[in-house]
Structure 1
Amino acid sequence: ILSKKSIEIETSLKKELSTYRKKHVTLSIDSIIDQVKESINTLISEIKQEKEDHPKLLRNDHIKAEITDIFEDKVGKPYEKKRLDELSKEAEQRYKLEIPPGYKDASKKGAKFYNGEIILEKYGDYILWQQIMDFAKEKQTNIIFITDDDKEDWWYYSKGKTIGPRSELLNEFSNKTNQEFYMFKPEVFMKQAGKVYSENFSDNTITEVKEVSKESGDYPLFVRDGTNYMSTLSQLNQFYYGEHTFEYIILLHHNKYLSDSFLTDLTEGFPFGEEFSCRIIDSNIPSAKSVNYSFESKLAIKVYLDDTWIVGKSEYFKNLTLTYFNMKLNDCQVEILE
């Protein structure tokens, strides 16, 4: 942007100041213009250096390493197959009667493969709930559960306000464990914990946690529910960033293995004039849509438009994206998923 503006300013100043060259011969118009250009170029150099210094977490993720250390030896033991089968049957019966938690995920697609067992994602919340109660019984301890899941199979709402955990959950927990159960959304927990430990979290920090929690909770819907994802995403876009935002999914078909770091570096060269962000959804999964390619990778591109937004700009960026990838990648087919 600064490079573009520098050219515009130089052209404008040369035109508007040209009449002063004869009137004020001692005034160096060229020197004035050069100083303006030099100031802008200095800013550009500083920004380029900041870009170089910015951590590339896909190559050396110190945050992930710290989180891994925090969770070391703090994750519960998984259930064996027999117990998982029992819980799956229990969940099905409870979901039919809309007994919390988890019944809102009854239609969720997908599965996870863990420790040799296939676990359907729709049973995840119920399995978690049983593990929490097992832990409380084993350790004879009260539980504080922090979750960004805001569905009504966990929370009781009244007139749009969150009242607290579903009464069925409190009753079941107390009955089976003889302990107390507390549940918080992340931003609420931060406020309460801040009061207890005299830690002042800024409003910006709490707002950021709230937005990240919301986005991380809703984002995987694309992977699980296919086309249903985009309508949800559209609502999220308007809620968080206003109407001048659009996002689309790029599906790459390729034979060569593409590392996440390579894909990240590739997207940094996008010729976008507007602010944008890129997220890797999947990379190098076996190709299901094309017999000519071995792998598929999905990227999500979100573009934040300024006040000069005009109808049709999203189509322009889609075409630009297709052109860019086809130019940068050999033996690759690019597809825009609506």
Structure 2
Amino acid sequence: MLDSFKGLTGYEKSEFKEIWETAIFVVDTNVLLNFYKYTSKEATQSLLKILKSLKKSDRLWVPYQVALEYFFNYESNMSKQKEGYLFLGDELLKLKNDAEKTLKRTQSSYPYININKFKFYIEQLTQLNSKLDQILNVELDKLPDTENIKNEIKDLLEGIIGDPYDQTEIDRIESEGKDRYKYDIPPGFRDKGNKKKEGYRIYGNFRYQQIYGDLILWNQMIDNVKDSPHPKPMIFITEEKKEDWWVKDGKNNIKKAHPLLVQEFINKTNQKFVMYRTERFVQYAKTYLNIDITEEQVINVTKDVESVRTLEQNNNFKDSKEYPVRINVEEYIQNFFGSNNRRSKLIDFLPDEKTEEFYTKLGETGNTKDLYIWCLQQSYVNINRRIKGLLKRFEHYYPEEAALYYKRLKPFFNQKAALPNIKLLKNIETIEEMLDTEDSLEY
């Protein structure tokens, strides 16, 4: 009879030991995507080591819903780490460019002022920029290789992904979800009113409204245990933080899994259900799974997870009504080409044989972001040719500065990916502006 109250009373210590010895482990999409956001190679490998060990012992399973959301979202997360460092570097490097422009404009507008005594400012910023490049390169080198992470996760998922639901089952879950969400029955009810999840995800032979994604996942986890010839407890590892998964204290700290989830799982499967966030899972894995992981590795994972959470918490605050809306990564490319001048230049960089294809695509699609990405991929040869030609001209005025630019931009040469070519385009704009200033002064 007491099992009817496990959602409220929780488990005994002896029960936790038994659960860890027998449970099937499930990872959420956000745990997989976070691999691309970690800045420590040690943290990445430590967590992968645990998951690989669980897979080897046939104790790791991934619901179809988790895999589907992962494959829909992994590409947009692969460059998260580099984007942060590159954004920081670009913004700091602007200081020197802005200072140079100020001195030149002052010299042009007020020729009777002696600006030579203020050139020390530029010289010191040049030295700082050189040091900045060195530090950025070191930090970028320390980042985990996202291509390797992609391949490792692909190998990890191979053979352990569950089957999808057919459309009839999804329709049933969505119909049930409307009633559940009406009474705040977890999981997923916190997605009500989330405009980002009002749309539908369509793939293969089914579609579902994204506000019911968590509920579909929950049903798949229950069915996996309920339909198994040898049912086992389940341990779910997730970075979810909403109240439709957890109970929180008055300070918004997570206390325990939502009791309705725990009890529903027990009632429908006759098996226990436990939920952890990443760092707690790693801590207990060290204790219960006898995996060779040091305390330092546990600390590294904890630090990386907390850093990701802090960043996302700040971004969530920026997205709230109290803060101006943040430009997210998906909107970055579209915003960069917000001006007619930039769009025209991008088209000018297209190879002649691709221009007609561009206008055909323009008439067929309303997704301009994807069209800009296509243009960047097709134009990389001409973009590279332009930036290298500008650097040769720039070398005439500032040889040392041109060498620094070349060193900084060299990793982005000859890449078809969109973001490296946007970086080159931004520097094309900067160098063109500086050359225009120099040419006008010479004239």
Give the alignment partner of residue 112 of structure 1, picking from 183, 192, 201.
Answer: 201
* Closer/same/farther in 2, CA of residues 262 and 232 from structure 1, 3 Å limit: farther
Helix, strand or coil: the match of 1:268?
Answer: helix
Pair 1:81 & 2:153 matched: no
* Closer/same/farther in 2, CA of residues 41 and 117 from structure 1, 3 Å limit: closer
Pair 1:129 & 2:218 matched: yes
Give the alignment partner of residue 91 of structure 1, picking from 165, 177, 181.
Answer: 177
Give the alignment partner of residue 263 of structure 1, picking from 408, 418, 421.
Answer: 418
Specify every segment of 5 or more residues in structure 1 that has no aligned partner in the other structure, as ranges: 16-35, 222-227, 238-245, 273-320, 328-338
Helix, strand or coil: the match of 2:320?
Answer: helix
Q: Which residue of 1 aligns with 2:236?
A: 145
Give the alignment partner of residue 230 of structure 1, picking from 319, 333, 336.
Answer: 319
Structure 1 residue 211: Cα displacement: 3.4
Higher RCO (CA 8 Å, separation ≥ 6 residues): 2
Q: Relative to total residues, which structure has the larger helix share, 1 or 2?
A: 2
Q: How many angstroms apart in 2 are the aligned matches of 1:105 and 1:41?
A: 45
Question: Counterparts of 1:113-262 in structure 2 under 5 Å?
Answer: 113-137=202-226, 138=228, 139-160=230-251, 161-196=253-288, 197=291, 198-200=293-295, 201-213=297-309, 230-231=319-320, 234=323, 249-250=331-332, 251=334, 252=337, 255=362, 258-259=373-374, 261-262=416-417
Structure 1 residue 218: Cα displacement: 9.0
Pair 1:65 & 2:151 matched: yes
* Closer/same/farther in 2, CA of residues 111 and 50 from structure 1, 3 Å limit: same
* Closer/same/farther in 2, CA of residues 263 and 93 from structure 1, 3 Å limit: same
Superposition CA RMSD, Å: 4.5
What amino acid sits opposite 1:147 in the alignment? T
TM-score, with normalisation over the residues of structure 1?
0.55
Structure 1 residue 199: Cα displacement: 3.2
* Closer/same/farther in 2, CA of residues 233 and 264 from structure 1, 3 Å limit: farther
Q: How many angstroms apart in 2 are the aligned matches of 1:186 and 1:233?
A: 30
Q: How many angstroms apart in 1 are the aligned matches of 2:213 and 2:257?
A: 18
Q: How many angstroms apart in 2 are the aligned matches of 1:124 and 1:178?
A: 24
Structure 1 residue 63: Cα displacement: 1.4
Q: Which stretch shows the higher mean deviation, 181-190 or 252-261?
A: 252-261
Q: How many angstroms apart in 2 are the aligned matches of 1:158 and 1:48?
A: 40
Structure 1 residue 116: Cα displacement: 2.5
What amino acid sits opposite 1:231 in the alignment? S
* Closer/same/farther in 2, CA of residues 142 and 271 from structure 1, 3 Å limit: same
Q: How many angstroms apart in 2 are the aligned matches of 1:218 and 1:176?
A: 38
TM-score, with normalisation over the residues of structure 2?
0.43
* Closer/same/farther in 2, CA of residues 102 and 158 from structure 1, 3 Å limit: same
* Closer/same/farther in 2, CA of residues 217 and 120 from structure 1, 3 Å limit: farther
Helix, strand or coil: the match of 1:148?
Answer: coil
Q: Which residue of 2 aligns with 1:26?
A: none
Specify every segment of 5 or more residues in structure 2 that has no aligned partner in the other structure, as ranges: 1-91, 101-115, 344-361, 363-370, 378-415, 434-443
Q: Which residue of 2 aligns with 1:297?
A: none
